[in-house]
Chain A
Amino acid sequence: MSSKVLASKTMASKTLPSRTLPGEALRNIVPPIVLALVLILCWQGLHLATASGAISSPAATLARLVVLMGSGRFWLDVAETGTAFAWALVLSIVLGIGLGVALALLRPVGEVMEPILVTFYSLPKVTLYPLVLLIFGLGMPAKIAFGIMHGLVPITLLTRNAITQLKPVYLRTAKVMRLSAFEAVRSVVLPAIIPELVAGIRIGFSLSLLGVLIGEMFASKRGLGFTAVNAMGLGDLDTIMAIGVFLALFAVLANGGLLSLERAIRHRSAGR
């Protein structure tokens, strides 16, 4: 009940029961592909419907993306955004899991802090971005900090939640075996909550990417977010769509990968 704010995001990770029959697999693969084709047709329809094709067609976007990916400037932006994102993600994961474990083991502290974290999670954090900029100055550290502001809290909440809902027998066993707190966390608690950790990392991944991009869209001179905002100023819709599609593909693929990892782990631990 505690991190219900996140519920809608984790909820989606449940799917219909699927068997490994070929017909069944086909029934799971065909509908999403049909939907993707329908969406692309709608996109093309929008392109034709708007005056003089103000919205770039799928083909034009793809062409622009190919041109972009051939240019050195684009990969400099990707490297800039990627570096900030990688730092934000790694720090969010490490700090988030650490904080989540601490808040779960120190139960009273966790119960006091939880409402504060939940409130912070549903705040429009953009409003606090100027504060981040004033503390860190313009540049990479501010972007990383802003990415962490988005990614840290969900990972913390999900980790804490997973541990508090752990069967008491795990912790009791650790106690019986006289494990130190550190050993108990390393060899009992963390292995027991690996599926939830992957779920938390998946959500932290999306949110810290969002945070870094928003950071770049405001007061930045480099990165994909900046290039997109710059293209908005120039009315260069082709570039915006190309960057949008590139980011969407990256995010969806990474998310899908983490999702199937999560399912594989859940499946394996359920089989034991």
Chain B
Amino acid sequence: MRYRALVTLAVVLACVLALELACALGWVARTVIIPPSEMVGSLRDILWSGEFNRAIALTLTNVMISVVISISAGFVLGVAIHASDFLRRAVEPYLASYYAVPTFIFYPVFIVLFGVNSAAIIAIAVLLSIVAMITATMNGLDRIPTVLLRTARIMRLSPVKTALLIQLPAAAPYFFTGARLSVAYSFIGVIASEFILSGDGLGYAIAYAYNNFENRQMYGLMLLIVIAVTLVNMTLDRLDRRLQSRLRR
């Protein structure tokens, strides 16, 4: 496992080196891609100068708010839908097709509802990420082994105790998978909305740099997002795998 991760890292590094070489030899025009070493330099300048600190803070805050809302609301909705047979039959066909709908189109509706501020962006991000949490919650509750629930009944646990001592621990790994997806989708939702629709945040900063031919700055910002999102996703993925392997015991 460890060895394989090293090979993966080596492949990534080899690709970066190849790009660096292609840039140095002039196979790739500077107007298209700048060498990775310059991207790193630009990223360093961006972080040192503090020029984008406000945009970074804004984007991270929006992502965090979206994550908190979609995980908590998604969990509650998932439990509610799971509890009612009617609701479940009503919602399930829509859940299966949900991600086919391009949510971004409805941004102006949220502008009307919330005004021109972060709330509209957070709403889009929540729309994108909440369904992952709802589906994971329902799936987790479905997969609780019946024998555990029977044990709870034999031990005459109250519903609250059953929920806290039996159902929650048994379904926790599935809930975590949902939470992890919510984080990834929140990043996508916030940054994509900023990029296309808003006038603020990291996504907008990249679009702005592109429109002004500021390639160096643009690639620095891209690198920042790619590294940050990759680190977050990898950490959560590792935790997720650990929890899942506990399930298989």
Q: Which A residues have a C-beta under 8 Å from some C-beta of B? A: 1, 4-5, 7-9, 11-13, 15-16, 27-28, 31-32, 34-35, 46, 50, 54-55, 111-113, 115-116, 118-119, 122-131, 133-135, 203, 205-207, 209-210, 213-214, 217-218, 228-229, 231-232, 235, 237, 240-241, 243-244, 247-248, 251-252, 254-256, 259
Checking B32, B112, B203 against A126 with a beta-carbon cut-off of 8 angstroms, the contacting residue is B203
CB distance from A21 to the nearest CB of B (A): 15
Chain B, Cβ-Cβ closest to A39: B94
CB distance from A133 to the nearest CB of B (A): 7
CB distance from A181 to the nearest CB of B (A): 24
* A217 lies within 8 A of B108 (CB): no
* B96 lies within 8 A of A124 (CB): no
Knowing A112-B11, A113-B11, A247-B101, say if A12 contacts B95 (CB, 8 Å). Answer: yes
Q: Which of B148-156, B163-171, B237-245 contacts A (4 or more CB under 8 A)?
A: B237-245
* A214 lies within 8 A of B105 (CB): no
The binding surface of chain A is classed by DSSP as helix
Chain A residues with Cβ below 8 Å from B105 are 213, 228, 240, 243-244, 247
* B4 lies within 8 A of A241 (CB): no
B172 within 8 A of A: no
Q: How many residues of B contact A (CB 8 A)?
A: 69
Q: How far is the CA of A122 from the CA of B5 in the complex (A)?
A: 18
Knowing A55-B109, A119-B233, A254-B100, say if A32 contacts B90 (CB, 8 Å). Answer: yes
CB distance from B141 to the nearest CB of A (A): 13
B132 within 8 A of A: yes
* B100 lies within 8 A of A252 (CB): yes
* A237 lies within 8 A of B178 (CB): no
Chain B, Cβ-Cβ closest to A205: B100
The listed residue with most B CB atoms (<10 A of its CB), out of A11, A124, A134, A210, is A124
Knowing A13-B96, A244-B106, say if A111 contacts B4 (CB, 8 Å). Answer: yes
B181 within 8 A of A: yes
Chain A, Cβ-Cβ closest to B107: A232
* A122 lies within 8 A of B101 (CB): no
Knowing A124-B188, A255-B100, say if A229 contacts B11 (CB, 8 Å). Answer: no
* B8 lies within 8 A of A115 (CB): yes
Chain A residues with Cβ below 8 Å from B32 are 131, 134-135
* B8 lies within 8 A of A28 (CB): no
* A218 lies within 8 A of B89 (CB): no
B229 within 8 A of A: yes
Knowing A124-B191, A214-B196, say if A16 contacts B106 (CB, 8 Å). Answer: no
The binding surface of chain B is classed by DSSP as helix
Checking B7, B113, B226, B230 against A112 with a beta-carbon cut-off of 8 angstroms, the contacting residue is B7
Checking A111, A213, A218, A228 against B207 with a beta-carbon cut-off of 8 angstroms, the contacting residue is A218
Knowing A8-B136, A112-B4, say if A259 contacts B97 (CB, 8 Å). Answer: yes
Chain A residues with Cβ below 8 Å from B226 are 123, 127
Chain B residues with Cβ below 8 Å from A259 are 96-97
B31 within 8 A of A: yes
* B108 lies within 8 A of A127 (CB): no
Chain B residues with Cβ below 8 Å from A229 are 196
* B222 lies within 8 A of A127 (CB): yes
Residues 134 to 161 of chain B near chain A (Cβ within 8 Å): 135-136, 139
Chain A residues with Cβ below 8 Å from B100 are 205-206, 209, 251-252, 254-255
Q: Mark B206-233, 1 if CB is under 8 A from A, else 0.
A: 1101100001001001100110011001
Chain B residues with Cβ below 8 Å from A119 are 230, 233-234
Chain B residues with Cβ below 8 Å from A254 are 100
B55 within 8 A of A: no
Chain A residues with Cβ below 8 Å from B234 are 119
* A213 lies within 8 A of B96 (CB): no
The listed residue with most B CB atoms (<10 A of its CB), out of A112, A205, A254, is A112
Chain A residues with Cβ below 8 Å from B5 are 115
Chain B, Cβ-Cβ closest to A249: B101
Chain B, Cβ-Cβ closest to A202: B100
Residues 161 to 201 of chain B near chain A (Cβ within 8 Å): 177-178, 181, 184, 187-188, 191-192, 195-197
B92 within 8 A of A: yes
Besides A111-B4, A237-B109, A247-B105, 16 new A-B residue pairs in contact (Cβ under 8 A), listed by A number: A1-B244, A4-B177, A55-B112, A115-B5, A124-B192, A130-B218, A134-B33, A203-B99, A209-B102, A213-B104, A213-B105, A214-B192, A218-B207, A252-B101, A254-B100, A259-B97
